[in-house]
Structure 1
Amino acid sequence: MKLKLSTLAAAAALTAAGLIPAAAQETVKFALCYDITKVYSFVTPQVAQAARDYATLLNTKGGIEGKQIEVIVQDHGNEPQRGIECYEKLKREGVMVFDFLSTPVSRAVLPRITKDGNIMMQSLAGRGDAVDGEVFKNVFPVGPTYWGQAANDVEYIKIKSGGSLKGKKIAFLYVDYPFGQEPIGILKTIAAKEGFDLQLFPYPLPGNDQASAWTQMRRFNPDWIISWSLANMHVIASREMKRNGIPIDKYIAVNWFNEVDIKNIGPDAAKGLKRGTNVAGGQGHPIFQEIIKEVYDKGKGAGDRKHLDDVYYNTGLAMYAIAFEGARLALKQGGWPLTPEKMKAGLESIKDFDANGLMAPMTVTAKDHGGGGKTRIEMWDGTKWVPETQWIAGFTDEVWKVVKEQSAEYAKQDAAK
């Protein structure tokens, strides 16, 4: 079909006026409004680097359904207002898919995303109830939410306890702000069902002073410790465990625990420590090998090669394998141009996708934007991470019960505005 000259002229005029950004007509854009400089700077450079490297690899192969990928990275410093500013700026530039990798910023931008109908990728951050696609129609926390991760940690403890948690003592250690507080509700729900003794041990930002929490923990004498901490907070926790005579093999870290933390604790001192994870580590994965050969060996890498040895780089690859797959399905099903509605449909078409073994298989539907919420527990054996479980999703009924309760409350409050 040929377009009339008047139609082409009108489109050109709109593009010139900035109402239809020219680049938006040519590329598939993804906005990474990240905290590059403050709280999350221990992880965001690796994740952003992986996203850009994977985009470079795919672009050498023709992009996504023939369209080139553009990954835009901008710093918000974990400040909600700056996150909003990043969103508004890039929205005007034609971006429709956003990722904030920050619970406070994701929560702050959510009302605008909802109003505008754009897409928020929210893996490993943000509201746990956002997996409810019937309420949060444009939010995709594909991968394990903090609620799901915490539930899976308890499932692991139940397995190790012979199938019963009655009488067990589980401590929840967390940095006392939204990220750390996120799993509390689901942990209390599971504790009431399973009959274990749950005690909460918060400590304040920036996380350097954990002494009081660990002194109280020593008195509690837990069987297991689930920790929602970040970066050096884990290192400080390991020192406090030693000081208080608490064995490190009781410690199960959230996924934000990497090889740098192991080095800072000491590989031998960290032996027995555990973490929940959402991705396979190491550089053996086919995507990884292609990136090394086609991107880094040809001088096209987006950052330092040292980050390739970091599990957070793998995490970024997994996150953007999902996002790019959603865009591929969107364009395959709906054609060009890409719209938020098509992107939504594409993401909701993902089925049994694991990026060739990079992560647990994901199936996303209109009802479940989380993809199944599977993780596995790994243990540091002194030299490497050893899987303690297969990919598991525990207490899914309890998790979804809380999801539905809180998403219904959100929908009620949103309707009242």
Structure 2
Amino acid sequence: MKRILIKYLVATGLGLAASGMAHAQQEPIKLALCYDLTKAYGFVTPQFAQAARDYAKIVNQKGGIEGHPVEILVQDHGNEPQRGIECYEKMKREGAITYDFMSTPVSRALIPRMMDDKRVMIQAITGRGDAINGEVFKWIFALGPTYWGQVANDIQYIKDQAKGNIKGKRIAYVYPDYPFGQEPIGVLKTLAEKEGFELFLAPHPLPGNDQAAVWTQIRRFNPDWVISWNLSNMHVVAAREMKRNGIPIDKYISVNWFNEVDINNIGPDNAKGIKRGTNVVGGQDHPLIQQIIKDLYDKNQGSGDRKHLNDIYYNTGLAIYTIVFEGARLAVKQGGWPLTPEKMKKGLESIKNFDAGGLMAPITVTAKDHGGGGKTRVDMWDGKKWVSQTDWIAAYQDVIQQIVEKESAEFAKTLK
């Protein structure tokens, strides 16, 4: 595994000190993480920040990115757009080169401002699905699968289970009734019309602790499958309601926001058969995570609680920031120092078939495609571990592209 990690670091150029003036080598690359650490997304953001900081430490131990150390700046915005704007302005003054808000409402509020400022937003997995259109969203990088792409891949999985025909199948979509949960609805409606399946929309109010009424409605609908855009404890509530209503849990396919904590809260045996979409590999076996354990946590130098290393959210945050670091490496290598927003943009748009040594689905980012391909897979909990049910796929790309073009064209009309 160590050889694999070294090969990965050498291949990417991370950790290899660049030649040049000592003064230039000492200047850091600052990456801003304006996260909701206290309210709606507190179940995931600490792991993301921890992973980014750990990766920065590993890379800095090896000499930084082309000789420049990486500094991770973290601040809470409480999932409030105004506080997100304040965090952005503060981080801009501090010299951040990228900005990550990890919140659909906050990122949506900041997109026009950042587009006008010509600053790079990292909008990985969350936010606007049409932001993959780099020709319109020139400064927004929707790295990894969007919610649109992910839900399309879920439908493809269901279609594969039905041997290619889901006409007449009944699919319920359960979700919290706010922007995050509403994001995939347009894609689902389009695919329902295209494939001929019956779609039942089942919204429930935040915070999602009371889902009794919606699951009664789902029971009456008698679905063949349930696609869930729930978060955190909402999954535990959903599992309890499914059991109460006699709906087999193996019909449940979750959005990627479903982790090992949720499994333990449902009960490993009770959760057997449940499925989730993902764009990263889980567990601690990956060489990079093993190196982080050896070089940081075994030496009491980790950036957070060691238990998070066995959490899919940690792996997801780590995967995202390997992409960002790779973009920064390419930016400095291609454009030299100082690193500017324009150079960072071009660096990210130069990423080709990058998977961080097998940590995630490979992505290729271009000036036209700021998403990277939108690949996910479906994993199933077998009672003890997650088992892959598919290869990495990006389904219904024609449908996704049509919706992207339509939505992004509407957004383009609002630009100055």
Pairwise TM-score range, normalised by the shorter structure: over 0.9
Aligned residues: 394
2:340 is aligned to 339
Q: CA deviation at 1:414?
A: 2.4
Question: Is the partner of 1:174 in helix, strand or coil?
Answer: strand
Q: Distance in 2 between matches of 1:342 and 1:283?
A: 34
Q: CA deviation at 1:25?
A: 7.9
Q: Distance in 1 between matches of 2:115 and 2:55?
A: 28
1:40 is aligned to 41
1:265 is aligned to 266
1:314 is aligned to 315
Identical aligned residues as a percent: 71
Q: Distance in 2 between matches of 1:23 and 1:234?
A: 49
Question: Is the partner of 1:233 in helix, strand or coil?
Answer: helix
1:358 is aligned to 359
Q: Distance in 1 between matches of 2:336 and 2:297?
A: 32
Q: Distance in 2 between matches of 1:153 and 1:97?
A: 31
1:6 is aligned to none
Gaps of 5+ in 1: 1-21
Which deviations, in whole Å up to 9, do the C-alpha atoms of 1:190-212 show, x marking residues without a partner? Answer: 11111111110000001111111
Match runs of 1:140-159 below 5 Å: 140-159=141-160
2:125 is aligned to 124
Q: Distance in 1 between matches of 2:97 and 2:309?
A: 29
Q: Distance in 2 between matches of 1:247 and 1:261?
A: 17
Q: Distance in 2 between matches of 1:349 and 1:37?
A: 35
Q: Is the 8 A contact 1:144 1:370 kept in 2?
A: yes
Normalising by the residue count of structure 2, what TM-score does the alignment of the two structures yield? 0.93
Gaps of 5+ in 2: 1-22
Q: CA deviation at 1:299?
A: 2.1
Q: Distance in 2 between matches of 1:112 and 1:28?
A: 22
Matched, 1:386 2:370: no
Q: Distance in 2 between matches of 1:163 and 1:290?
A: 42
2:186 is aligned to 185
Matched, 1:245 2:211: no
2:12 is aligned to none
- Code of the residue aligned with 1:293 in structure 2: it is K
1:104 is aligned to 105
Q: Is the 8 A contact 1:267 1:383 kept in 2?
A: yes
1:166 is aligned to 167
2:415 is aligned to 414
Question: Is the partner of 1:89 in helix, strand or coil?
Answer: helix
Q: Distance in 1 between matches of 2:330 and 2:288?
A: 19
- Code of the residue aligned with 1:272 in structure 2: it is G
- Code of the residue aligned with 1:387 in structure 2: it is S
Q: CA deviation at 1:298?
A: 2.1
2:58 is aligned to 57
Q: Is the 8 A contact 2:26 2:68 kept in 1?
A: no
CA 1:23/1:38 → structure 2, altered by over 3 Å: closer, same or farther?
farther
- Which of structures 1 and 2 has the bigger CA Rg? 1
Match runs of 1:264-303 below 5 Å: 264-303=265-304
Moved over 6 A (4+): 22-25
Quick check: 292-301 or 154-163, which moved more?
A: 292-301
Matched, 1:208 2:222: no
Which deviations, in whole Å up to 9, do the C-alpha atoms of 1:143-197 show, x marking residues without a partner? Answer: 0000000000000000001101101111110000000000001111111111111
CA 1:28/1:163 → structure 2, altered by over 3 Å: closer, same or farther?
same
Q: Distance in 1 between matches of 2:73 and 2:413?
A: 34
Q: CA deviation at 1:23?
A: 11
